[in-house]
Structures are given as structure tokens and as C-alpha cells.
Amino acid sequence: MHILRYIDDNLKDKTILITGGAGFIGSNLAFYFQNNHPDAKVVVLDSFRSGEKLSNGNLKSFGHFKNLIGFRGEIISGDINDKDLLLDLEVNYRFDYIFHEAAISDTTAQEQDLMIRTNVNAYKDLLDLAIKHNANMIYASSAATYGNAASPQKVGVEAPQNVYGFSKLCMDNLSREYIKKSNIGIVGLRYFNVYGPREYFKNSTASMVLQFGLQLLSGKNPRLFESSDKILRDFIYIEDVIAANIKAMNPKESGIYNVGTGKARSFQDIVDILQRELETTLSCEYIENPFIGSYQFHTEADIASTKEALGYEPKFEMEDAIKAYVNEIRRVYEQEVK
């Protein structure tokens, strides 16, 4: 994947910490800096995957070494809940920017204690580290903060429906308090439905773009919920997400901002575009939606403030993004699935 260079700032001799750097978005950030700012020092921190699982059967950590093959920066295996590790980072490093992507990111996780401890309390510790280092903080918030709020979703109108969304809203509220009392840049990016290279190791939580693509390549009929042409989400390609992160390094104004396309597209659109790009003609199977009542039927990011404060402008329409992604989907199928 070729990611355009989004900033011209000289990052020579700057040190960048990426937590969750072996995950989907974190690893893409790591390679962005390596490819575009080779004189910057990039430190990746990730807990990496073990056999440890949540009560729902999903892995606690999705970090995977394969996401970092070819990365030449420093890699630290560690947990952001580890106070000794954070003290080591404080004493032995001097960061200029912190990209905080690490989290318990499974929206179906039931462990409320672990979710709050990892997503909220550890984030506060990292904010304190950022202030001590005078480092700008860019962190992953989430559209899950909105729950079933009406579209277009706007910052300030939140109603989280799960503990993950609640934890991200807590992070945003904490950020607002720190913005008032600190001089560093603090930007929370509320990601909508992100898809693109290096998401495969998210397993069942990977995007439906990848999951439908792998179904089609394996010759399976794509399975969609009934009325999938009317279930609309704001799907955003990873390159636009990386662009937003880079723009957030030196924001016009600290704050919480949506990162989406500002356009809602259907799950049926995804399958139709994939079939065209993969040259398949498999019939769709429609199944009853068991999540009615707890399911978002329409998400669409209001990105007006993101454009104003960050100079952010999404570049990828879904058709263009899937076309750019299909070769990687084919590679994943051949090397990881078959």
C-alpha cells in the first residue's frame, strides 16, 4: 500500500511513540513514518497476542508480529497498564508525539473492569507522560461513543450502548479536562468503520469489507442481513485515517473530531463492489438480523469541525478504496486463509 505524504514538517531527531503499534491502525502509522520520515525515531509499544481470551472467546490482544514485518524501529512488548513500564518510558525516553492506539477494542467484551482500567485509567497515565515530555497526544476515540444517536453523528451528542463506547467517551471527557490545564496538543479521533491492509489479525472483528472479500474468494455465497441495502454505515479507508492522524499532529485546535467520509454506504454496496473487482458472481444469502434493537442501522460522520481544525479531507470513495485494497485481500486469502 502506498500512503501519500501528508505533512512536510521535518521530523528529523523527533521521537514518536505508537501504542498498539502491532495492531491495525498502529502498524499502518509505523510504516507511514518509516516510509516518509526515516530520520524520525519511532517506538512501537504493543502487548502482542498471547493465548489469553476474553469471556466472549475473542483474543484479549490482536497485536501481531506479521503486521510489523519490515519495520526497522524499536519494538517494545508491554502492557499500558504496567506502571513500571510507563515509568521506564518516562525516564529513559523523550517523546515528541504520542499516538495512542492501544485499547481493549472488542465492542462485545463484557469485562467492564478491564475495559475501564485499560482504556481510561491507562490513558490518563499516558496523558501525564505526554505532559512531562511536552509531547502532543493523538489518540483513538470511536464512533461507538454515539450508540444509536441520529445521523449525522456530531461531537457532543453521545449515547454509548456498550462499555467500549462508554470507555471511549470517558477518554474524551478526560481529554477535555487536560486540554484546559495543559499546553500540549491533545486530539481525539473518533474513527467510524475503518478497513484496509493489516486488519486481518483482528480476526472476527475485522471489517466486513475483508470478511466479504474472503468469503467470495473461497467461493462462498456472501451472507448479509435482510435489507442490507438499507443498513448504512460510514466506512472509511485506512489511508484517510492515517491522513487524519498526521493532520492531528499539529492541530489548529485541540479537541475531539470525527474521522469518517461523511457519506453513508450500505453493506450491499460493499458486496457489489467486491464482486465487480474480484470478478465473482455469487448469489447473496440474506439472513434474519438477530441484533435488531441493539444494532446501528445508520452512521454518518459530521466532519465539518474535522475539516476546519485539522484541514482533513477524505480522499477515498468506497469504489476507489476497495479497488486499492483487493490485491491485499487476495494476498491474505492466498497466504493466511487457504
Distance between CA atoms of residues 333 and 311, nearest Å: 36
**DSSP state letter for 282:** P
Q: Which is nearest to 123 in space by CA: 135, 136, 140, 107?
A: 140
Give the active site residue among 164, 178, 325, 333. Answer: 164
How far lies 262's CA from each of 153, 210, 329, in Å?
9, 21, 25
Secondary element (H or E) of residue 278: helix 267-278
| Bond from prior residue into 222 cis (ω within 30 degrees of 0) | no
- Per the residue annotation, which of 202, 237, 257, 325 is the catalytic one? 202
Cβ density class 26-41: b for 16+ within 10 Å, e for less: bbbbbbbbeebbeebb
DSSP 106-167: -TT---HHHHHIIIIIHHHHHHHHHHHHT-EEEEEEEGGGGTTPPSSB-TT-----SHHHHH
Rounded Cα gap, residues 126 and 51, in angstroms:
26
202 is catalytic: yes
Q: Is 124 a catalytic residue?
A: no
Q: Catalytic residue numbers?
A: 164, 202
